[in-house]
Amino acid sequence: MQPTVADILALPVVQAGQPELVSDGSLDVPVRWVHVSDLADLSDLLEGGELVLTTGRALTDTPTRDTYLHGLAAAGAVGLIIELGVHIDEVPRSVIEAGRSLAFPVIALHRQIRFVQLTEQVHRTIVADQYGELEFARSAHETFTDLSMRRATVDEIVTAAAHMLGSPVVLEDLNRQVVAFSGTEPATLLADWDRRSRLTPEVGAQRDADPDAWLARPVGAHPQTWGRLVVPQTHDADNRSVVIVERAAQAIALNRMTEQDRSSLELRAQGGLIDDLRHNRIRTEAEATARAFALGLRRSRAYIAMTIRLRDAGGADQVLVQQHRARILDSVTHTIKVTRHTALTTASEGGRRIDVLLAQRHTASATQRLEHMTNVCVSIRQTIMRVEGVMRCVIGVGPESTQITDAAIGFDESGHVADVALALPDDRPFHRSSDTRLRGLVALIRDDPRVQAFAETELRGLLEHRAKHGDELFALLRRYLDLGGNKAELAKSLKLSRPTLYARLDTLSRLLGVDINDAESRTSLHAALMIIDPS
C-alpha cells in the first residue's frame, strides 16, 4: 500500500527536522511520489499524487507566493514540505491562508534535513509497493488463467474470487438474477437481491464517493456485456480487490465463450439449486427462498414439483442430439414465461428428463390453480411435441406446498409418476400418483430381484416360446388380459374364429402351466407382464 502524508511525516528523517503542520489538510491521502523542486511553476512537471519538498525559494517573490499553492493543488499535489532557514525563515501568512482555504497540508521544517535521505526512503517504499502490486496481479492472473485452462465452472471461479477477497461475491445477469454466488449465508446475502442490486451504487473510478457502494465489474466484452460480478458488501476497493474482481470477470466471460453451446448460466444456476433441494443440502426455507427469488422465481402461495419425460428418436450424432434436447429445454422455459408463470428448471439424463419447480399464479381457489396447471402442462406438451423427433411427452406432478423446500421433496414422486406415465396409453395433460395405480407400484418395485424372479417364473414358458417363435402368443396374452378374459370380445377384435382362438388360448395355458380362465391367474399374469414389459 502506498505511504500517506502522515506516514511520511512520521519517518525519523522528517521528525529530525521538527515538522510543524501550519495548514490543515488530509494527511491520509496516498503519496505516489516525492518531488524536490524550488521552481515557482510545477504544473508541467507533476502528474498527481506527489508530495513536494522545497527550500522556499519560490516563496520569496510576492506575486509568485500568492498563487504557488493554487498551482500545486491544480496539478494534483497532495502536500508541501518547506525547509526553513535557507531562503525564508517562516512560512508567509498568505501561503498559510491559501493552504487553509484549499484544505492543502503545508508542513514547515524548523531544522534542515537531507532531502535525499527522505526521497530515498519514500521511493524505496513506493517501488516495493508497486512491485508487490505487480506480483499480486501476476499471481491473480495465473490463478484465474489456471482455472480457465482447467475448464473450471463458473461456481468455481466465483468461489475462488470470494476466497481471495475474503468477502462474498455474486454473479448476476442483466436482469439482476443471481446465477452464481459464494460466501456467507445465502438467506442474508441474497435477501431482496433485485431491489438492493438496482439501488446500490457502484464504486467509481475515484473510489471515494459513497462508503456504502459495491465493488462491481461488468462481465463480457462491450457491447456484449451480459452480467455483473459484485462484491455486495461495503468493501475497501483497493487495487488488489479491483484486480481480483476484474480477473474473475474475465475468466467468467471466457468460460461463457467456451461454453456457449451448452446450457445457459441461468439454467445451470437453477439446476444447482434444484439439485441442492433434492439432496437436502439446503437447511432452511429462508435460504431456499432467498436463492430461488434471486433466480427469478416469484413468491407464491403454492409451489409444485413437475417432471417432464420425453421419448424421442435419438440419433447417432450425440452432439446433435444434445443440441436438440437443449432446444427442448429452452422451449419449456419460454412456454412457462408465456403462460405468465415463473419456475426453476433443470435437465438430466441426457435431456430426457426435465424437472420444473413451478410457482403457481396467485389465485383464490384450488379449482383455479388446477385450471392454470392444466393450461401450463397442455402448452408445454404441445410445444415439445412440435419439436422434430419427439414421439411422446408426459408430465408427472407432485403435491402442492406453500414452502419451496417441501415442494422440492415432491420431485421423487413426480419423477416416478412421469416414468410410469410414459408407459401408459392415455394422453392427459399431466399425471398424479393417483393416476398411476398398479403400474406405479410395479414401476416402484420393478428393480427388486425378487419381483423380477416372480415375473420370470410366471412367464418362463411363454418367454422361451417367444424367443424361438416370435411375439404372436405374447401379444395374444396381453390382449386377452387387457379385455379382462372376455373371449368373445377378443375373437372379434382379432377377427379370429372361436375354435382357432380357443386353440391358441389352450396353447397359452399349456406354456404357462396355469388356467388362464382363473381370475387370480389372470391377475398374476397381468402383474408379471407389467414387470417384464411395462409398455
Q: Whole-model pTM above 0.85?
A: no
- Please give the class, per CATH, of domain 447-532: mainly alpha
Cβ–Cβ under 8 Å, residues 119 and 33:
no
Domain map of the chain by residue range?
A: 5-113, 148-203+211-260, 267-436, 447-532
Largest alpha-carbon pair distance within the chain? 135
Q: List alpha helices for 423-532, DSSP H.
A: 433-445, 449-469, 472-482, 487-494, 498-512, 519-532
Backbone angles phi, psi at 25, to 5 degrees: -170, 180
Determine the CATH number of domain 267-436. 3.30.70.270
Q: Is 361 helix (H, G, I), strand (E, B) or coil?
A: coil
From the options 3.40.1080.10, 2.40.30.20, 3.40.50.2020, 3.40.1390.20, give the CATH code of 5-113. 3.40.1390.20
- Please give the class, per CATH, of domain 148-203+211-260: alpha beta
Rounded Cα distance between 225 and 217, Å, is 10
Backbone angles phi, psi at 109, to 5 degrees: -100, 120
Rounded Cα distance between 253 and 166, Å, is 22
Cβ–Cβ under 8 Å, residues 399 and 417:
no
pLDDT tens sequence for the chain (535 residues): 678 889 889 999 889 889 999 888 888 888 888 999 988 888 888 888 899 999 988 888 888 888 888 889 998 999 999 999 888 888 898 888 889 989 999 999 999 888 888 888 888 888 887 777 788 888 888 999 898 888 888 889 999 999 998 899 999 988 888 988 998 888 888 988 988 998 888 886 554 556 778 999 999 877 778 889 999 875 566 788 889 999 999 999 888 777 654 456 778 889 889 999 998 899 899 999 999 999 889 999 899 999 999 888 766 566 666 677 777 888 898 899 888 899 999 988 877 899 999 998 876 677 888 888 999 999 999 988 888 778 889 999 999 999 999 999 999 999 988 988 887 777 889 999 888 777 777 776 777 888 889 989 999 998 888 888 888 998 999 999 989 889 899 889 888 898 898 999 999 999 999 999 999 999 999 989 888 876 6
Angle between helices 154-165 and 115-149 (to 10 degrees): 160
Cα 482–Cα 487–Cα 491 angle in degrees, nearest 5: 95
Angle between helices 285-294 and 265-278 (to 10 degrees): 170
Of the candidates 249, 250, 168, 179, the residue with the CA atom closest to the CA atom of residue 214: 168
